[in-house]
Chains A and B, each alone.
Chain A
Amino acid sequence: MSRQSRIAAVAPRPARLALATGAAAVLASTIAASRAPRTAPLRPNDCTVQETWKKDFVPPETRDYGRIRLTEGGLYRVSIKAPDDAPPTGKIHEWILHIEDTTGVAVDSATICVDGGMPEHGHGLPTTPEMSGPPANGDYRIEGMKFSMSGWWVVKFVIQARAGTDSVRFNLSLR
């Protein structure tokens, strides 16, 4: 299987998502599992964290708004790049997600799923962003990003590559 087709096979398509009845149990186990590296294939709900927003609350004074972060299990170093450095509100746009391993080598074999929301408001992203096309030198296009309003947003990426599955969250303060 080629790299591109592998990505296409694993990346979630919004139309395929089924109604998430019983989502809470799935999500709780997802979050717990995402703290440790895994090798099981990503499933469509792996990124969904809507029911856990309140648990994810971070006081304003301790929020890290850095654009470069280590994944929670320490497997990858991830950076985000949005248009004009400041993501817009109310407009669909795309991000570039750059993934390296801990030695600084670009990771080009990852599958990624994306989710996010506003922990203070209890709602998720208004869209279902997707990884698009093959990566180049560790850069992955993430299409369909949208933030419906200003304020504190959290965007979470679950990354699955050769070293294992790990997740990372970015804080954003949108104006």
Chain B
Amino acid sequence: MRGATTRVVMFGACLGLAAAPAVTVVAAAAARPAIPDGWSPGELATLQSLTLGTLGAPPRDPSNRYASSAAAAAFGRRAFFDTRFSINGKVACATCHLPSSQFQDGRPLGLGVGTTGRRTMTVIASAYTPWLFWDGRADSPWAQALGPLESAVEHGGTRTLYARVIARAYAEDYAQLFGSLPDTATLPASAGPNGTANERAAWAQLPQTTKDSVTRVFVNLGKALAAFERGIEYGPSRFDRYVAGLTDSDGGKRERFSAAERAGARLFIGSGQCVRCHSGALLTDNQFHNVGIGAAEPPDSGRILGIRLADSSEFNCLSRYSDASEADCAELKFAKRGTADLVGAFRTPSLRDVGLRAPYGHHGEFRTLAAVLDHYNRAPRAAVGHSELEPLHLTQTELAQLDAFLRTLTGSVTAGVASAAPGR
């Protein structure tokens, strides 16, 4: 490698990519006053890259032609809170994704009709990630929304049950948005391809055209739910205001950080190495990492299985129910598959509002942020696959500083459709 490097230098053709930012930084430093709290220009740039102001609007979702429809979002909002979309009439999306609790439930494992196998993820800012669920087995918010509806331990319902609920309670709104409903009067009360043995048998007896039309209703329900969720976003936090104040000429009004919070921020982007995966305005790289969290029994293989499930999903980007062209499905087409680093790897969660979202980990393994930080500091071996972590050797004081910093990431939650409260 060294030899090759020398030869290339002799060609005199190197563009010197690393040198360009350095020149910019030096020029900027000469022209500006010192940055408050002793931040270097490079550190400031990293801090700014984590602020909400850099986020922008959610990327378009070509797989859902209703993603930006206000009418679909209003439909989805009603459905989100409607417990009729469950086998026992008691479970809605909002049962586990509580608007008053960061759109999650605060439990180690979700509790719907039964108990789920993993921690409930928040739906805030879900429009920004190409992969949904801890293992990324859904590649769009609408495909994600359909999963729990057919899960035996979440909503526990079926496609014909949901079509009948829509025909009964949403027929007019549905028709205006999606066109006419199929005849639901003759459908079995509860039948679907992922239900109980009886429900699957009832589904199997339906004509293919009926299966298709009922599944289309089910898909449209998911797309409306996704349109509602698309408007649920994080609001600015103390951290965002603090970083904005670092370049604000009116220093007297800027947000202040305590010494511990400043030290924690420095650790976060420095020796704590948190920013390696918790990067960008949402403090997540939206990728999958094995960080040694998860017990050996029952083993949870994470992304290595998640991408297989996404590939075989009847609702993925390339499916007949997707509105995307093949060219729009690059994330699915080029997703990494079958490599050892995907074993026991899970999606990096956003750290926005993290102080309000205990417990932590994909099984809710950690009750406190301090316990999470202790895990990262020790970097134990993974029970499944191989952890990317190495011990950080931070002191208890430094861990407390990181804890203090993480709590500055708390802000308000905004919902795009009037409010996230239930309504009709």
B304 in the interface, Cβ–Cβ < 8 Å? yes
Contact between chains at B11 and A68 (CB < 8 Å): yes
Question: Given known contacts A23-B339, A175-B45, is B388 in contact with A92 (CB within 8 Å)?
Answer: no
Partner of A127, one of B304, B334, B388: B334
Contact between chains at A70 and B8 (CB < 8 Å): yes
The chain B residue with its CB closest to the CB of A13 is: B337
Within 8 A of B (CB), among A121-174: 121-130, 143-144, 146, 148-151, 168-169, 172-173
Question: Given known contacts A66-B8, A175-B45, is B330 in contact with A143 (CB within 8 Å)?
Answer: yes
Within 8 A of B (CB), among A74-113: 74, 86, 89-90, 92
Contact between chains at B17 and A65 (CB < 8 Å): yes
B57 in the interface, Cβ–Cβ < 8 Å? no
Q: Which residues of B contact A63 (CB under 8 A)?
A: 18
Within 8 A of A (CB), among B334-361: 334-341, 343
Contact between chains at B14 and A66 (CB < 8 Å): yes
SS of A interface (majority): loop
A20 in the interface, Cβ–Cβ < 8 Å? yes
A175 CA to B334 CA in the complex, in Å? 23
The chain A residue with its CB closest to the CB of B6 is: A64
Contact with A along B1-43 (1 / 0, CB 8 A): 1011101110101111111010000000000000000000000
| Chain B: interface residue total (CB-CB under 8 A) | 42
Question: Given known contacts A74-B7, A126-B287, is B330 in contact with A67 (CB within 8 Å)?
Answer: no
The chain B residue with its CB closest to the CB of A27 is: B340
The chain A residue with its CB closest to the CB of B311 is: A15
A18 in the interface, Cβ–Cβ < 8 Å? yes
A8 CA to B421 CA in the complex, in Å? 53
Q: Which residues of A contact B287 (CB under 8 A)?
A: 123, 126, 148
Contact between chains at A20 and B336 (CB < 8 Å): no
Which one of B164-172, B185-193, B211-219, B274-282 is at the A interface?
A: B274-282
A69 in the interface, Cβ–Cβ < 8 Å? yes
Within 8 A of B (CB), among A1-42: 14-15, 17-21, 23
Contact between chains at B335 and A122 (CB < 8 Å): no
A24 CA to B313 CA in the complex, in Å? 31
Question: Given known contacts A72-B1, A148-B286, A150-B49, is B334 in contact with A92 (CB within 8 Å)?
Answer: yes
B374 in the interface, Cβ–Cβ < 8 Å? no
Q: Which residues of A contact B5 (CB under 8 A)?
A: 62, 64
B398 in the interface, Cβ–Cβ < 8 Å? no
A25 CA to B8 CA in the complex, in Å? 31
A3 CA to B19 CA in the complex, in Å? 40
Contact between chains at B8 and A150 (CB < 8 Å): no
Partner of B336, one of A18, A89, A124, A143: A124
A2 CA to B73 CA in the complex, in Å? 51
A23 CA to B339 CA in the complex, in Å? 8
Q: Which residues of A contact B45 (CB under 8 A)?
A: 175
| Shortest distance between the CB of A158 and any CB in chain B (Å) | 14
Partner of A66, one of B15, B279, B331, B333: B15
Q: Which residues of B contact A124 (CB under 8 A)?
A: 336, 339, 341
B289 in the interface, Cβ–Cβ < 8 Å? yes
B173 in the interface, Cβ–Cβ < 8 Å? no
Contact between chains at A14 and B335 (CB < 8 Å): yes
Contact between chains at B16 and A66 (CB < 8 Å): yes
A56 CA to B212 CA in the complex, in Å? 52
Q: Which residues of A contact B340 (CB under 8 A)?
A: 19-21, 23, 50-51
Contact between chains at A20 and B339 (CB < 8 Å): yes
Contact between chains at B280 and A65 (CB < 8 Å): no
Contact between chains at B334 and A14 (CB < 8 Å): yes
Contact between chains at B338 and A18 (CB < 8 Å): yes
20 A-B pairs (CB sep. < 8 Å): A20-B339, A20-B340, A65-B14, A65-B15, A66-B16, A67-B14, A68-B11, A71-B4, A72-B1, A72-B3, A118-B276, A120-B276, A124-B339, A126-B288, A127-B334, A127-B335, A128-B334, A150-B49, A173-B21, A175-B49
* A residues lining the B interface (CB < 8 Å): 14-15, 17-21, 23, 48, 50-51, 56, 58, 62-72, 74, 86, 89-90, 92, 118, 120-130, 143-144, 146, 148-151, 168-169, 172-173, 175
Known: A123-B287, A128-B336. 14 other contacts (CB 8 A): A17-B339, A20-B340, A50-B339, A56-B1, A58-B1, A65-B18, A67-B15, A68-B13, A72-B1, A92-B330, A123-B289, A123-B388, A127-B334, A144-B334
Which 3 residue pairs across A and B have the least CB separation, nearest first?
A144-B334, A66-B14, A17-B338
* B residues lining the A interface (CB < 8 Å): 1, 3-5, 7-9, 11, 13-19, 21, 45, 49, 276-277, 279-280, 285-289, 304, 311, 330-331, 333-341, 343, 388
